[in-house]
Amino acid sequence: MKTDLLDIRNCDCMELMAEFPDNHFDLAIVDPPYGIGASEMQMGKGKHKQWKTGKRWDESIPTKKYFNQLMMVSKKQIVWGGNYFDLPKTGGWIFWDKMRGKDVSFSDGELGWTNFLNVIKKADIRYDGFIGSDLQRIHPTQKPVRLYDWLLRNYAEKGQRILDTHLGSGSSAIACHYAGCHLTASELDEDYYKAACERIDKETRQTSFL
C-alpha cells in the first residue's frame, strides 16, 4: 500500500530497514513483540474481548541485531514495551495511562522507552470503549490512534520521516496520515497486513478520526 504519505509493506522488518542508510528516519515508533504470549491470550472484555488467534508472533522478543539496525536507520526511537528489552539506560520514559478505572484484571498502562531528553511524560489515553477509528479492532494488542497522535504531537514534526517496523492494526499509519508525517512501515503477517490496509484506506478517506 502506497500513498503520498504512507509506504506500507508486507515484509520482514529487517529486510525493510536494510534498504535505508543510517539516520534516514527522523523517528522510529515501534511496538515489537514483548515475548509474553499475547497472541495466545484472551484479552479485553465484553464486545471487545479477543479470543486466541492461533498465531504465535509473541513467543519471543526481537534480537539484538534488530535493535542495532533500528538505531542505525533512525535518529530517535520510541519503543513500546521497552521494559521487556535490554535497551540503553534512559530517563525519557513514556507512561501510557490506559485510564481503566477500577478494572484490576489488566495493567494500568504500558511503558515506552525513548532516547529523548531525561523527562518522563504521561499520555492519558483511555483504552476501554475505543473511539472513532478504534471501534474496529483487528489486532490483539492494538493501540488507539489517539495514542499515536499524542506521540506525533509531542515527539515529531509535520513532514518528518517515521518508521514503524511492526505495523499491526495500522493505528500509526492513520495518525501519520492526519499529522502530515511520512511513514514507512512493515507487517510480516499477511492477514494483519491486509486487514490493516483495509482499515487505513477506510479511515484516511474520512475528514477526521477524532
Residue 48, domain member (yes or no): yes
pLDDT at position 118 is: 82
pLDDT tens profile 148-199: 999 999 999 999 999 999 999 999 999 999 999 999 999 999 999 999 999 9
Residues with Cβ within 8 Å of residue 156, at least 6 apart in sequence: 26, 27, 162, 179, 181
Residue 67, domain member (yes or no): yes
Residue 112, domain member (yes or no): yes
Residue 209, domain member (yes or no): no
pLDDT at position 210 is: 47
pLDDT tens profile 70-113: 999 999 999 999 999 999 999 999 999 998 766 555 678 999 99
Has residue 147 got a pLDDT over 90? yes
Residue with cell 497472541: 39
State the cell numbers at 175: 495518525
- Check which CATH number belongs to the domain holding 118 and give it: 3.40.50.150
Residue closest to 58 by CA, chosen among 73, 28, 75, 80: 80
Residue 105, domain member (yes or no): yes
Residue with cell 493505528: 171
Q: How many domains does the chain have?
A: 1
Residue closest to 77 by CA, chosen among 17, 129, 127, 136: 17
Residue 210, domain member (yes or no): no
